[in-house]
Amino acid sequence: MRAASLDRLLALGLHRLGWMGRDEAILLRKLVRPGMQVVDVGANIGLYSLLFARLVEQNGFVLAFEPEPNLFAILRENCTNNNITNVAPFQCALGQANGLASFHRSAFNSGDNRLENSSMGHDAVEVKVERFDDLQPESRPDFVKIDVQGHELGALSGMERALSANPQVQVLFEFFPAGLRRAGTAPESLLSFFRERGFELYETEGARLKRSRNVRELDSALRGSRYTNLLAARGTIETDD
Protein backbone atom coordinates (compact mmCIF):
# COMPACT_ATOMS: atom_id res chain seq x y z
CA MET A 1 0.00 0.00 0.00
CA ARG A 2 1.05 3.58 -0.64
CA ALA A 3 0.70 6.28 1.99
CA ALA A 4 -0.38 9.88 1.40
CA SER A 5 1.83 11.41 4.09
CA LEU A 6 4.54 10.63 6.64
CA ASP A 7 2.02 9.94 9.39
CA ARG A 8 0.13 7.47 7.15
CA LEU A 9 3.44 5.79 6.24
CA LEU A 10 4.21 5.39 9.94
CA ALA A 11 0.73 3.98 10.55
CA LEU A 12 1.16 1.45 7.74
CA GLY A 13 4.48 0.36 9.19
CA LEU A 14 2.96 -0.13 12.63
CA HIS A 15 0.12 -2.17 11.14
CA ARG A 16 2.57 -4.38 9.22
CA LEU A 17 4.56 -5.01 12.40
CA GLY A 18 1.37 -5.88 14.28
CA TRP A 19 1.88 -3.04 16.75
CA MET A 20 -1.24 -1.22 15.59
CA GLY A 21 -4.62 -2.49 14.41
CA ARG A 22 -3.94 -6.17 15.18
CA ASP A 23 -6.90 -6.63 17.51
CA GLU A 24 -9.24 -4.72 15.20
CA ALA A 25 -8.25 -6.98 12.29
CA ILE A 26 -8.87 -10.12 14.36
CA LEU A 27 -12.30 -8.82 15.39
CA LEU A 28 -13.24 -7.86 11.82
CA ARG A 29 -12.32 -11.34 10.61
CA LYS A 30 -14.87 -12.69 13.10
CA LEU A 31 -17.62 -10.30 12.01
CA VAL A 32 -17.22 -9.88 8.25
CA ARG A 33 -17.93 -12.92 6.06
CA PRO A 34 -17.89 -13.79 2.35
CA GLY A 35 -20.73 -12.30 0.31
CA MET A 36 -21.40 -9.36 2.64
CA GLN A 37 -21.94 -5.76 1.57
CA VAL A 38 -19.75 -3.50 3.70
CA VAL A 39 -19.81 0.29 4.04
CA ASP A 40 -16.53 1.91 5.13
CA VAL A 41 -17.20 5.49 6.27
CA GLY A 42 -13.97 7.44 6.72
CA ALA A 43 -11.91 5.09 4.54
CA ASN A 44 -8.72 7.21 4.55
CA ILE A 45 -6.14 5.47 2.31
CA GLY A 46 -8.09 2.21 2.27
CA LEU A 47 -6.34 0.05 4.84
CA TYR A 48 -9.61 -1.41 6.12
CA SER A 49 -11.39 -1.15 2.77
CA LEU A 50 -8.85 -3.57 1.31
CA LEU A 51 -9.19 -5.89 4.29
CA PHE A 52 -12.97 -5.87 3.87
CA ALA A 53 -12.59 -6.55 0.14
CA ARG A 54 -10.63 -9.70 0.88
CA LEU A 55 -12.97 -10.84 3.67
CA VAL A 56 -16.15 -10.50 1.60
CA GLU A 57 -14.43 -12.13 -1.41
CA GLN A 58 -15.65 -11.65 -4.97
CA ASN A 59 -19.31 -12.28 -4.12
CA GLY A 60 -19.28 -9.36 -1.68
CA PHE A 61 -18.83 -5.63 -2.14
CA VAL A 62 -17.39 -2.64 -0.30
CA LEU A 63 -18.56 0.97 -0.53
CA ALA A 64 -15.72 3.23 0.69
CA PHE A 65 -16.25 6.92 1.53
CA GLU A 66 -13.38 9.41 1.89
CA PRO A 67 -13.84 13.18 1.31
CA GLU A 68 -10.24 14.42 1.50
CA PRO A 69 -8.86 14.70 -2.08
CA ASN A 70 -5.31 13.45 -1.44
CA LEU A 71 -6.42 10.51 0.71
CA PHE A 72 -9.12 9.62 -1.81
CA ALA A 73 -6.58 9.54 -4.65
CA ILE A 74 -4.38 7.15 -2.65
CA LEU A 75 -7.42 5.04 -1.74
CA ARG A 76 -8.17 4.54 -5.45
CA GLU A 77 -4.51 3.89 -6.22
CA ASN A 78 -4.23 1.28 -3.47
CA CYS A 79 -7.29 -0.53 -4.81
CA THR A 80 -5.85 -0.53 -8.34
CA ASN A 81 -2.35 -1.61 -7.28
CA ASN A 82 -3.77 -4.52 -5.28
CA ASN A 83 -6.11 -5.63 -8.10
CA ILE A 84 -9.12 -4.96 -5.87
CA THR A 85 -12.24 -4.89 -8.03
CA ASN A 86 -14.98 -5.18 -5.39
CA VAL A 87 -14.46 -1.75 -3.76
CA ALA A 88 -16.39 1.29 -5.01
CA PRO A 89 -14.72 4.48 -3.69
CA PHE A 90 -16.73 7.69 -3.26
CA GLN A 91 -15.12 11.10 -2.76
CA CYS A 92 -17.55 12.59 -0.26
CA ALA A 93 -18.40 12.77 3.41
CA LEU A 94 -21.64 11.22 4.62
CA GLY A 95 -24.11 13.42 6.46
CA GLN A 96 -27.70 14.17 7.34
CA ALA A 97 -28.19 16.51 4.35
CA ASN A 98 -26.68 16.88 0.88
CA GLY A 99 -24.45 19.89 0.28
CA LEU A 100 -20.95 21.25 0.75
CA ALA A 101 -18.97 21.57 3.95
CA SER A 102 -15.63 22.78 5.24
CA PHE A 103 -13.33 19.84 5.91
CA HIS A 104 -10.36 20.54 8.17
CA ARG A 105 -7.13 18.67 7.63
CA SER A 106 -4.74 18.01 10.49
CA ALA A 107 -1.19 19.18 9.94
CA PHE A 108 0.24 16.17 11.80
CA ASN A 109 -2.30 13.34 11.72
CA SER A 110 -4.48 12.78 8.67
CA GLY A 111 -6.46 10.27 10.71
CA ASP A 112 -7.73 13.32 12.63
CA ASN A 113 -9.28 15.20 9.69
CA ARG A 114 -12.82 16.35 10.39
CA LEU A 115 -15.84 18.41 9.41
CA GLU A 116 -15.58 21.48 11.65
CA ASN A 117 -15.89 25.24 11.59
CA SER A 118 -12.35 25.80 12.77
CA SER A 119 -9.55 24.05 14.61
CA MET A 120 -5.99 24.97 15.49
CA GLY A 121 -3.45 23.09 13.40
CA HIS A 122 -5.91 22.36 10.60
CA ASP A 123 -6.32 23.80 7.10
CA ALA A 124 -9.61 23.56 5.28
CA VAL A 125 -10.89 22.28 1.96
CA GLU A 126 -14.47 22.31 0.69
CA VAL A 127 -15.92 18.80 0.31
CA LYS A 128 -19.16 17.30 -0.88
CA VAL A 129 -21.54 15.86 1.73
CA GLU A 130 -24.07 13.21 0.68
CA ARG A 131 -26.91 11.37 2.36
CA PHE A 132 -26.17 7.68 1.99
CA ASP A 133 -29.86 6.89 1.46
CA ASP A 134 -29.97 9.26 -1.52
CA LEU A 135 -26.68 8.06 -2.97
CA GLN A 136 -27.43 4.33 -2.52
CA PRO A 137 -31.24 4.05 -2.25
CA GLU A 138 -31.31 0.27 -2.83
CA SER A 139 -28.46 -0.60 -0.48
CA ARG A 140 -28.92 -3.21 2.27
CA PRO A 141 -25.54 -3.21 4.02
CA ASP A 142 -24.56 -6.12 6.24
CA PHE A 143 -21.74 -4.32 8.01
CA VAL A 144 -20.83 -0.65 8.50
CA LYS A 145 -17.53 0.67 9.83
CA ILE A 146 -17.63 4.37 10.72
CA ASP A 147 -14.88 6.58 12.13
CA VAL A 148 -15.42 10.27 11.39
CA GLN A 149 -14.04 12.08 14.44
CA GLY A 150 -17.27 12.90 16.25
CA HIS A 151 -19.56 13.29 13.22
CA GLU A 152 -20.92 9.75 13.40
CA LEU A 153 -24.49 10.77 14.27
CA GLY A 154 -24.85 12.99 11.19
CA ALA A 155 -23.56 10.25 8.89
CA LEU A 156 -25.82 7.64 10.49
CA SER A 157 -28.87 9.91 10.32
CA GLY A 158 -28.43 10.02 6.54
CA MET A 159 -28.49 6.23 6.26
CA GLU A 160 -31.52 5.36 8.37
CA ARG A 161 -33.33 3.65 5.48
CA ALA A 162 -30.31 1.46 4.75
CA LEU A 163 -29.94 0.53 8.42
CA SER A 164 -33.60 -0.45 8.65
CA ALA A 165 -33.49 -2.44 5.38
CA ASN A 166 -31.37 -5.21 6.90
CA PRO A 167 -32.38 -6.38 10.40
CA GLN A 168 -29.03 -8.17 10.78
CA VAL A 169 -26.83 -5.17 9.97
CA GLN A 170 -23.94 -4.53 12.37
CA VAL A 171 -22.24 -1.17 12.88
CA LEU A 172 -18.73 -0.80 14.29
CA PHE A 173 -18.20 2.82 15.29
CA GLU A 174 -15.80 4.99 17.21
CA PHE A 175 -17.19 6.38 20.46
CA PHE A 176 -15.13 9.49 21.25
CA PRO A 177 -17.01 11.68 23.77
CA ALA A 178 -14.71 14.73 23.43
CA GLY A 179 -14.91 14.56 19.63
CA LEU A 180 -18.69 14.20 19.71
CA ARG A 181 -19.07 17.26 21.95
CA ARG A 182 -16.70 19.25 19.73
CA ALA A 183 -18.93 18.34 16.78
CA GLY A 184 -22.03 19.50 18.67
CA THR A 185 -23.34 16.03 19.58
CA ALA A 186 -24.05 14.85 23.12
CA PRO A 187 -22.41 11.41 23.53
CA GLU A 188 -25.66 9.92 24.84
CA SER A 189 -27.43 11.02 21.64
CA LEU A 190 -25.25 8.73 19.53
CA LEU A 191 -25.90 5.75 21.78
CA SER A 192 -29.63 6.57 21.90
CA PHE A 193 -29.75 6.57 18.08
CA PHE A 194 -28.91 2.87 18.12
CA ARG A 195 -30.96 1.85 21.14
CA GLU A 196 -34.09 3.55 19.79
CA ARG A 197 -33.72 1.46 16.62
CA GLY A 198 -33.45 -1.87 18.40
CA PHE A 199 -29.69 -2.27 18.51
CA GLU A 200 -27.75 -3.71 21.42
CA LEU A 201 -24.35 -2.15 22.13
CA TYR A 202 -21.13 -4.02 22.77
CA GLU A 203 -17.74 -2.72 23.83
CA THR A 204 -14.56 -3.92 22.19
CA GLU A 205 -11.68 -4.90 24.43
CA GLY A 206 -8.86 -5.83 22.12
CA ALA A 207 -10.39 -8.47 19.87
CA ARG A 208 -13.03 -9.33 22.47
CA LEU A 209 -16.63 -8.17 22.78
CA LYS A 210 -18.58 -7.50 25.97
CA ARG A 211 -21.91 -5.88 26.73
CA SER A 212 -21.56 -2.12 26.94
CA ARG A 213 -21.66 -0.17 30.15
CA ASN A 214 -24.17 2.65 30.48
CA VAL A 215 -23.32 6.01 28.96
CA ARG A 216 -22.27 7.62 32.26
CA GLU A 217 -19.73 4.91 32.99
CA LEU A 218 -18.42 4.99 29.43
CA ASP A 219 -18.19 8.78 29.40
CA SER A 220 -16.37 8.78 32.73
CA ALA A 221 -13.87 6.19 31.49
CA LEU A 222 -13.15 8.11 28.27
CA ARG A 223 -11.88 11.45 29.50
CA GLY A 224 -9.81 13.80 27.36
CA SER A 225 -8.83 12.30 24.02
CA ARG A 226 -9.65 8.72 25.01
CA TYR A 227 -12.05 6.72 22.84
CA THR A 228 -13.22 3.17 22.21
CA ASN A 229 -14.90 1.20 19.46
CA LEU A 230 -18.46 -0.02 19.98
CA LEU A 231 -20.44 -2.57 18.00
CA ALA A 232 -24.17 -2.07 17.45
CA ALA A 233 -26.12 -5.20 16.48
CA ARG A 234 -29.75 -6.34 16.51
CA GLY A 235 -28.95 -10.04 16.25
CA THR A 236 -27.42 -12.22 18.93
CA ILE A 237 -23.70 -11.62 19.43
CA GLU A 238 -21.42 -14.01 21.24
CA THR A 239 -19.60 -12.02 23.91
CA ASP A 240 -16.52 -12.68 26.01
CA ASP A 241 -18.04 -11.49 29.32
Average pLDDT over residues 8-22: 61
pLDDT tens for 207-231 read 899 999 888 899 889 998 898 999 9
pLDDT above 70 covers a percentage of the chain that reads 84
pLDDT tens for 74-102 read 999 999 999 999 999 999 999 999 999 98
In the chain, the domains with their CATH numbers are 21-94+137-233 (3.40.50.150)
pLDDT tens for 117-163 read 544 445 788 999 999 999 999 999 999 999 998 899 999 999 999 99
DSSP 55-104: HH-TTSEEEEE--SHHHHHHHHHHHHHTT--SEEEE-SEE-SS-EEEEEE
Q: Is 124 helix (H, G, I), strand (E, B) or coil?
A: strand
Rounded to two decimals, what is the model's pTM?
Answer: 0.89
Strands 87-90 and 61-65 turn out to be parallel
Strands 200-205 and 143-146 turn out to be unpaired
SS3 content of the chain, % helix, strand, coil (to 5): 35, 25, 40
pLDDT tens for 34-67 read 999 999 999 999 999 999 999 999 999 999 999 9
**Rg for the chain, CA atoms, rounded:** 17
